[in-house]
Chain A
Amino acid sequence: MPRFLLKRLGLALVTLFLLSVIVFAVSSVLPGNVGRAVLGPFATQESVDALNEQLGANRSLLAQYTEWAGGLLHGDLGTSLSKQVPAWDLLGPALSNSFKLAAVAFMICVPVSILGGIVAGLRYGRLTDKGITIAGLSFAAMPEFVSGIFLILAFAIWLHWLPVTAQWEEGAGPLTQVKYLLLPAMTLTLVLFGYIARITRAGMIEALDSDYARTAYLKGLPSSVVIRKHVLRNALLPTIAVVAVQVGYLVGGLVVVEVLFNYQGIGSLIYEAARQKDLPLLTAGVLVVGITYLLVTLIADILYAVLNPRIRLGGLE
């Protein structure tokens, strides 16, 4: 187990380093001339030069990367061009808003999807199974803004049950906030439902078909006990791994959902930074998203290892 942990941690650090190199390369090398890319074709050469001087974009790439990465290690993510404040001052609150939305989405999505997968698995091959599978597949394939628009039309405009945007008034209580977050959270749920339900269903079918399930049935255990103690325990293991990957997706799906519902999270901040050509803020935001993803998958891998006796006891690497 400790060996597994160390190896996994080492890999995560290598990936993090490569991620920083890739993000840096895209944002500093691709534009050719960073100052020109930010200010556009009609800016004077002097102002372009001045901006490049300010950003340090006129030095060698290696020097730029070392300084940038050195700053990162000290928690300095750079300075936003459009707002002239440290990028973290904008990213921190946005990230916590996004986590709030993601938490509500997860609290709806995970139980509903797992339940859907279990029901589909138990009803394998019947109409319920086909209905759940095709609905899940269809919603998973739909871009968030499409399913989001359907939800807005149904629940906000025609039924008037929920607000159109996720922008609550200052000082709203937690319950009101949740009410505003319901529609965006449901949008994310629709996309994720298919993946999680599908893998739970597959796990169920495999476990139901296994020798140990047959033995349990044959030795006369009631089917509720077989399902609870033998099938579910094994069926849900792969689900954990998928749920973790979907947390990572959630961070990306947030861009579109946050823009659609006008919610001030990391996704809409990245979108705004890109629209205003605020490259330092954009770069920092993208990096924060990548780091979040790496952290979440790291935690999920460890959780998976702890729950899976085959890895926990050191049999598998």
Chain B
Amino acid sequence: MTSLEAAPAALARSEARTARSERLRLLVRSRTVIIGLIVIALWIFCAVFPGLVTPHDPVFDNQFTPNLSPTWGHLFGTDTNGRDILSRVLAGSRNVLLIAPAATLIGTVLGTILGLITGFFRGVVDDAAGRVIDAVMSLPLIITAILIVTAIGKSGTWVVVLIIGLIFSPVVSRTVRAAVLTEGELDYVQAARLRGERAPYIMFSEILPNVMSPVVVEFTVRLGYAIFTVASLTFIGFGVAPPSPDWAAQINQYWTLIDPYWWMTLFPALAIASLVVAVNLVADGVREVYER
């Protein structure tokens, strides 16, 4: 008897597994997704093992003649402090690869919780939250971030992570809420209500697993925006000002010298471009696969 009762659940589980492997198969079949994944993997490798990839030390000043334009000895040239720019670019992915995923994770988790609550309870809770979210979203991300950093009077890795996470949460909540609203109409939610299940149980154990698709899509898309925002904040000097090399910080330092020292700005800019484009190619592939 027990095996018969367990059968439907096992069937549902194996169906879910088939769906997941099917999505994965579609994902790796896309050429743009593969290119994106390779670029991201390369930058992650550089961030984890900077010592293995940099030809010279990326931090110490006056190792070489300053302001050398690109040559065979220094493919990307040297900067005003006499450091090898290739080494600095290869070592510069660390901050952004730490901050952006952390901020996105916080934003996605908070946003999912908020979306579940507003979509599940609807009514007054939803209306009130909706208005506040409207008000927050009427300010551009960068401007809100500048205001908060100035108001608390300091910036730093975790300040930036928290700010971006907090500002992302309303955007994520909108998407999750829309998905929860459609789920709420379905029989299994009604059944759970009739069984007398408590609201948190229905939200997190019944609805959440069924709205994971939009949550995953939202995470990948937000990750691209997070890199965009971290880099922009660092460029205008409101992000992290690390002692370690950072692409946007390098550009912040050297872009006023762009004529004639173009190589000090161009190569970090290309590095940022490669990372954001790679993340967005993957995000686009993920969205296509999940929304079909």
Contact = CB atoms under 8 A, between A and B. Distances in A.
Interface of A: 11, 14-16, 18-19, 21-23, 26-27, 30-31, 37, 134, 137-138, 140-147, 149-150, 152-153, 156-157, 164, 248-249, 251-253, 255-256, 259-260, 270-271, 274-275, 277, 279, 282-283, 286, 289-290, 293-294, 297
Contact of B266 (A14, A149, A255): A149
B284 A255 contact: no
Given A141-B228, A146-B272, A253-B140, A259 B236 contact: yes
B88 to A, nearest CB: 16
A15 B232 contact: no
Interface in B237-260: 237-238, 248, 251, 255, 258-259
A26 B138 contact: no
B258 A149 contact: yes
Contact of B231 (A11, A134, A146): A146
A251 B140 contact: yes
Contacts of A146: 231, 251, 269, 272-273, 276
Contacts of B232: 143-145, 256
B139 interface: yes
B258 A157 contact: yes
B152 interface: yes
11 contacts: A14-B131, A18-B134, A26-B147, A37-B152, A137-B277, A141-B280, A145-B232, A164-B259, A248-B140, A253-B142, A256-B142
Contacts of B228: 141-143
Interface in B270-285: 272-273, 276-277, 279-281, 284
Contacts of B149: 274
B147 A286 contact: yes
Contacts of B276: 141-143, 146
Given A37-B153, A146-B272, A293-B138, A274 B262 contact: no
Q: 5 closest A-B pairs (Cβ-Cβ)?
A: A252-B140, A18-B135, A141-B280, A30-B151, A19-B135
A147 B284 CA distance: 20
Nearest to B237: A275
A277 B150 contact: yes
B148 interface: yes
Given A138-B280, A274-B150, A255 B142 contact: yes
A157 to B, nearest CB: 5
A262 B288 CA distance: 39
A274 B232 CA distance: 15
Contacts of B266: 149, 153
Contacts of A290: 135, 138-139
A302 B143 CA distance: 27
Contacts of A15: 131, 134-135, 138
B232 to A, nearest CB: 5
Contact of A289 (B139, B153, B236): B139
B255 A149 contact: yes
A239 to B, nearest CB: 20
Contacts of B248: 143, 145
Contacts of B262: 153, 157
Interface in B166-188: none
Nearest to A268: B236
B235 interface: yes
Contact of A271 (B146, B258, B259): B146
Given A26-B144, A30-B151, A31-B152, 19 more contacts: A19-B139, A26-B148, A26-B151, A37-B153, A142-B277, A145-B248, A145-B251, A145-B269, A146-B273, A149-B266, A153-B258, A153-B265, A248-B140, A252-B143, A260-B255, A270-B146, A274-B238, A282-B146, A293-B140
B125 interface: no
B67 interface: no
B136 A249 contact: no
Given A27-B151, A134-B32, A145-B235, A248 B138 contact: yes
B134, B135, B232, B279 pick with most chain A CB within 10 angstroms: B135
A144 B272 CA distance: 11
B132 interface: yes
B162 interface: no
